[in-house]
Amino acid sequence: MYTALLPIVLFLTLVLQTASRPIVYQCVPVETSVDYFDPRPNGGAMLDNAGDGYGEPLNVIVSGMSSPEVLTEDGIVNFARAIGFSEECFGLHAGAPQTANLGDGNGWVNQTIELRQDYDNAGVGTCLETLIGGNHFRVWKQNGSLADSGALFLAVSKEEPLLEHHTIIPDGYNIGRDLLVQNAVGQTSYNGVTYSTVARNITGLLAPGAVGVNHNISTDGIVTLLTVTIL
């Protein structure tokens, strides 16, 4: 009789030992199955809020189908360095952050980070951009419960020198976008990470023209989708 009960006793002992062990959850980036969600149906916008009643176009999207590591803050910084951008000069930022509503349920949130052209020097090159102007972009992540694509929405523009108060150059939104895309497409690398990037232009997300656009600078309405894969 006792011999027959032995397997049951061993099974219950194993169950109790397993239940007493702490459960360890490992947080890893997860690849999504969509490029992005259109922010507008859920009350979002393709212009950010520059704080003066106008906005700057979200004219580049890093697809949610990119390698998950790219879609983190550290990941976009490393990718940015691979295509000629870096963090601001000594980490200093003048002016208030801009906000964007990506229609994901998070409402209007501050930019995650702002990155500037580094003139081929990731250490101090952005200090030169601060003085003489150049390309730069702001980043927001679409990760709210209503639209969790994981995509990064970028507001890209080329700006004037410091003496011109960093206003956007004529046609600076289109020019800034095109310069960033030109640097990104193909194979790039930084800090031992190699990227392969493909681009696709999208119309219908961003209205062409200058209505509501900061500095009254017209745009062509094109948003470029980048899919970035780590090789």
Domain that holds residue 115: 32-230
pLDDT of the residue at 95: 60
In a domain, 17, yes or no: no
- Return the closest-CA partner of residue 219 out of 210, 229, 228, 227: 210
Answer yes or no: is 19 within a domain. Answer: no
Q: Give me 120's structure tokens.
A: 């081929």
Residue 18, in any domain of the structure: no
Give a yes or no: residue 181 inside a domain. Answer: yes
Split into its structural domains, the chain has a count of 1
d(CA 201, CA 205): 11
Which pTM value belongs to this model?
A: 0.84
Least confident of 31-35, 45-49, 198-202: 31-35
Has residue 25 been placed in a domain? no
Within a domain: residue 128? Answer: yes
Rounded to whole angstroms, how far apart are CA atoms 153 and 172? 18
Give the pLDDT band (50/70/90) at residue 17: very low
The whole-number pLDDT of residue 184 equals 98
For residue 122, tell me if it sits in a domain.
yes
